Amino acid sequence: MSNQTTLGKLKLRLTPAAEKAARSGHPWVYGERIKEANRDGELGELAVIYDRNNKFLGVGLFDPESPIRVRMIHAGAPQTIDESWWLARLKSALARREGLGGDQTTGYRLISGENDGWPGLVVDRYDQTLVLKLYSGVWLPRLEEVVNRLQAELNPQRIVLRLSRNIQTVAQERFRLSDGQIIRGEPLTGPVVFLENGIRFESEVLKGQKTGFFLDQRDNRQRVGELAEGKSVLNAFSFSGGFSLYAARGGAESVTDLDISAHALEAAKRNFALNEHIPAVKECQHRCVQADAFQWVATSKERFDLVIVDPPSLAKRETERSGAISAYEDLAASGIRLLNRNGILVAASCSAHVTPQEFFGAALKAAQLSRRPFTEMDRTGHAPDHPATFTEAMYLKCIYLRFT
Ligand code: SAH
């Protein structure tokens, strides 16, 4: 960055396929698809892409270390990428969430990476705390300006920096930045409490998975709350009891949280305690089971009226795809086996490498093989604050099946 002016603009030309993808708005350019560069690029600098006719195609942020060599921020007519451009981009991400917050929901995603035009950068709000999570090193040299912009627009109490594992070394060695650092505002030692549709939750912002909570399942949790009255509920892969609290508030008789992590289950207990002022939550029987959920659901003799199965990503890479599809089928089959008559299965997948079609197909296959009559109630995808604008970003899917 420092000597960018002396070096002059970084100019790139791409293979025809990459040109086409970039022109249509795809945000990633892989290193092997760069045909020509006028010089070496530096981490985070602007790379200007020209097409084969030497016409401006777009602009991206360069990363010499990553297989995704350029993260596009703009394609189309030439534009000056200056402070007011970035500010307008921030404002349009915030405008997209207008109406989402309010006094009953103080936790939601403000910037969703590529899908909002900020490739590899996520900002989640938990009450007065912002969590800025970087999945790409391109933002490291620009961090100060990003933080200043967030501070000026949103005036949070603090901003927590979270770094994906792949960039922690470069962040530490070159920028003296570490995962879980408070980069602006007041210190913090533990989780932050926020509201989601009127329910209090903790988010473990300093070191929890993602940014501390799975905000992406908010709408499915709400739906589960509406289905739960009078029911016995199993929440498999419960994490901190997100689905369970909604079920309890919705009038579930009992809720079982099942997770392999004692830490997650402790958080679930604290989340129930945080909501004891809600009579239905106080009255609901809450139980925690620490076990391998794959095994537990396959062998348990218990029965439930509503079973939620929301495992972690089962395909982190393409080679794990077919194994993941059959694991989803097995999990759905186990969930169905645990259902009482008129029971409902809510099965979710967050694996980007498994398509909606493949996942829904696996769940429906399990349903057919169960030989129990069933109806499909619903299929859902991304919540409005987690938009998905290109295929690789479409990770979340969920299906609701009712069995007689
Ligand atoms: N449904 C949750 C998010 C689930 S995240 C929500 O709405 O907040 C996935 C959870 O699966 C994590 O809490 C993780 O601890 C748990 N997990 C991972 N492997 C597991 C296993 N083999 N058995 C049980 N739980 C597991």
**What is the whole-number distance in angstroms between the Cα of residue 313 and the centre of ligand 1?**
9
* Best CA proximity match to 196, nearest among 96, 311, 100: 100
Confidence category of residue 5, pLDDT binned at 50, 70, 90: low
**What is the whole-number distance in angstroms between the Cα of residue 260 and the centre of ligand 1?**
7
What CATH number should be reported for the domain whose range is 7-75?
Answer: 2.30.130.10
**What is the whole-number distance in angstroms between the Cα of residue 348 and the centre of ligand 1?**
12
Residue range 55-60: average pLDDT? 97
Q: What percent of the chain has pLDDT over 90?
A: 96
- What pTM does this model have? 0.95
179 lines ligand 1 (CB under 6 A): no
| Sheet containing strand 34-37, strands side by side | 28-30, 68-75, 56-62, 46-50, 10-14, 34-37
Confidence category of residue 7, pLDDT binned at 50, 70, 90: confident
CATH architecture of 214-403: 3-Layer(aba) Sandwich (3.40)
- Ligand 1 atom with the shortest distance to the CA of 348: 1
Nearest residue (CA) to ligand 1, atom 3:
239
- Specify the pLDDT at position 369: 98
Token digits of residue 236: 């498999």
> What Å distances lie between residue 191 and 187, 199, 201, 206, CA to CA?
12, 16, 10, 7
261 lines ligand 1 (CB under 6 A): yes
- Tell whether the model's pLDDT for residue 1 goes beyond 50: no
Dist. CA 235–CA 346, nearest whole Å: 9
264 lines ligand 1 (CB under 6 A): yes
Token digits of residue 141: 């040299």
Pair 114, 21: CB distance under 8 Å: no
Three-state DSSP class for residue 311 = coil
**What is the whole-number distance in angstroms between the Cα of residue 251 and the centre of ligand 1?**
24
Pair 258, 293: CB distance under 8 Å: yes
Q: Which fold has domain 83-192?
A: Transcription Regulator spoIIAA (3.30.750)
Confidence category of residue 2, pLDDT binned at 50, 70, 90: very low
**What is the whole-number distance in angstroms between the Cα of residue 191 and the centre of ligand 1?**
19
Which of 237, 313, 316, 350 should be mutated for ligand 1, with most atoms under 8 A from CB? 237
38 exposed, middle or buried (CB, 10 Å; 0-12, 13-18, 19+)? middle
Pair 344, 402: CB distance under 8 Å: yes
**What is the whole-number distance in angstroms between the Cα of residue 237 and the centre of ligand 1?**
4
294 lines ligand 1 (CB under 6 A): yes
Which of 239, 246, 308 should be mutated for ligand 1, with most atoms under 8 A from CB? 239
- Specify the pLDDT at position 102: 85
Three-state DSSP class for residue 160 = strand
- Tell whether the model's pLDDT for residue 325 goes beyond 70: yes
> What Å distances lie between residue 241 and 5, 34, 45, 248, 270, CA to CA?
52, 46, 42, 10, 9
- Ligand 1 atom with the shortest distance to the CA of 235: 1
What ranges do the domains of the chain cover? 7-75, 83-192, 214-403
- Specify the pLDDT at position 151: 97
Q: Are strands 339-349 and 374-380 parallel, antiparallel or unpaired?
A: unpaired
95 exposed, middle or buried (CB, 10 Å; 0-12, 13-18, 19+)? exposed
